Amino acid sequence: MDNRRGYLDLLEEILSNIPSTAQSIANSFVAEHRRLESCPIVTIASYDEAALIRSQAKPQMDSRSIKEVLEQANGIFSNRIFNNHPRFFGFIPSPTHPLTLLGDLLLASKNPHAGSWFQSSGPSAIETGLIRWLAELAGLPADTAGGLFVSGGSMANLVGLQTARDQMLGEEWEQRARGTIYVSQQTHSSISKGLRILGFSNKQVRKIKCDENFQMDCSDLERTIEQDKEAGLMPFLIVASCGTTNTSSIDPISNIHTIAKAQVPPLWVHVDGAFGASVLLSKSHAHLLKDLKHADSMSWDAHKWLFQTYGCGMALLRDRRHLLQSFATGAEYTRDAVDSGDFESPNFWNFGPELTRPARGMRLWFSLQVLGLDAVGEMIDHGFLLAETVEGELRKLDGWKIVSNAKMGIVCFRYEGTGKSVEEWDELNAKVSGICIRENKSAALTTKLDGRTVIRICAIHPEMSVEGMKEVVRSLDEVARELAAI
């Protein structure tokens, strides 16, 4: 006997409610976007509020109306940072373009299994074409380059690191145990996490010094590689950054490449471009990234400076065959989706860690098709202008020190006068950031550079005005002066 009567009635009710619910979500999304400037930037649930929310996690036995659950969800979501707020400058903000709502909805509505060509030939062909185009933009060789869409920069870095390990050290653990890796003091933490996942100990990782521009110091790099070789170790990988998180510095990739390839055997160069690689689409600054062409592998996040919602990054390889050598597996239950092996009709489950994967590239494709490259280029260029505005305004004011000048959307600075210890000035800068957050003026968080607390602004929101940016500086200055006078 078919017992689904209750379920089928419920399904019908849900189906009939989907259009109006989607409309209401879209309405509130658009309304929120239009008043984004006045929304609270940072809301963190209190201990008691979090306990209340936690108690709402467990589902009930009975079904509930979509409307009721949606209202509840909106309440829960109000406890978050608006990462897409024009005055949120922390970490790498996420100034998602409103179009992504539609791209995401479209992808969710089709939900292809983009692990295999068999299941997702249309979206996989787009992902292949996009990856090829992005790799070409980076200057990687068109006839060999390839890659795949992954969930973000950490995964893209992991794919690059694993490929490097497998190509350079092979499968034997004895050999892997002798391998040494070169990162800089400014390399993103996802690299050390990735190396740990891959079985490397911290003892195998060398943190190369940075110069005054927070770029890898190539003399220290060369010296350290030499020392390791003399000690019988196997240097095999250098990780360069194209847009560090702290200061958006680009390491001297060309020099690093020369050093890497002069070794016997040559070292692999992985470039972390999770943040910076999007500048390849800038109309006026793409030349800054001319040395990306030297990468053996690189990461690139579309959910950072390509305005996508979270969960969209790219791993690009100079030689796509290396991906298959690291990730391809087979099983009897996937035999009907067998890999053609020709890279024109790929099974992406053989290119990276995931079997089941969404066609993430379709969201990016949707946005780029609708917006066009001119608009995207301008949106990226605006980030340069915003950070430069901050630096220019601060330079007009007494007491502010630019610790790292405006580079690719990021600038770091510190208020420091006389009559207090450096530690007290550290504390004051942290307080300035905290007060501006509390008063909803801006969320410019702090970081440490050369051991000192600095305020860091990552300003990449295409809807943030130059005048608005000047106002942010004015309010930081006002708060700093008030605190300094106490």
Binding residues for ligand PLP, per CB under 6 A? 91-92, 152-154, 157, 188, 190, 243, 245, 272, 274-275, 301, 313
Q: Output phi, psi for 260, to 5 deg.
A: -65, -45
CA distance 235 to 224: 9
- Nearest approach in angstroms of CB 245 to ligand PLP is 4
- Nearest approach in angstroms of CB 151 to ligand PLP is 7
Give the residue with the Cβ less far from ligand PLP, 92 or 315: 92
Name the DSSP class of 150: E
Contact (Cβ atoms closer than 8 angstroms) between residue 117 and residue 345: yes
Specify the amino acid at residue 87: R
Contact (Cβ atoms closer than 8 angstroms) between residue 367 and residue 452: no
H/E/C letters for each residue in 457-471? EECCCCCCCHHHHHH
Give the residue with the Cβ less far from ligand PLP, 255 or 308: 308
CA distance 447 to 429: 10
- Nearest approach in angstroms of CB 389 to ligand PLP is 22
Give the residue with the Cβ less far from ligand PLP, 200 or 275: 275
Give the residue with the Cβ less far from ligand PLP, 183 or 234: 183
Name the residue number minimizing CB distance to ligand PLP: 153
Q: Is 373 exposed, middle or buried (0-12, 13-18, 19+ CB in 10 A)?
A: exposed
- Nearest approach in angstroms of CB 364 to ligand PLP is 14
Give Cα 66 to chain centroid, integer Å.
33
Beta-bridged to residue 457, according to DSSP, are 411
Helices (H), 84-239: 99-110, 117-138, 153-169, 173-178, 189-197, 218-230
- Nearest approach in angstroms of CB 112 to ligand PLP is 22
Give the residue with the Cβ less far from ligand PLP, 94 or 475: 94
Give the residue with the Cβ less far from ligand PLP, 243 or 393: 243
Give the residue with the Cβ less far from ligand PLP, 126 or 302: 302
- Nearest approach in angstroms of CB 264 to ligand PLP is 30
Give the residue with the Cβ less far from ligand PLP, 214 or 415: 214
- How far CA 39 is from CA of 81, 86, 476, in Å, comes to 10, 10, 19
- How far CA 398 is from CA of 94, 416, 421, in Å, comes to 32, 9, 18
- Nearest approach in angstroms of CB 122 to ligand PLP is 26
Tokens coding 135: 């790799």
- Nearest approach in angstroms of CB 124 to ligand PLP is 22
Contact (Cβ atoms closer than 8 angstroms) between residue 414 and residue 455: yes
Beta-bridged to residue 410, according to DSSP, are 407, 458
Give Cα 70 to chain centroid, integer Å.
29
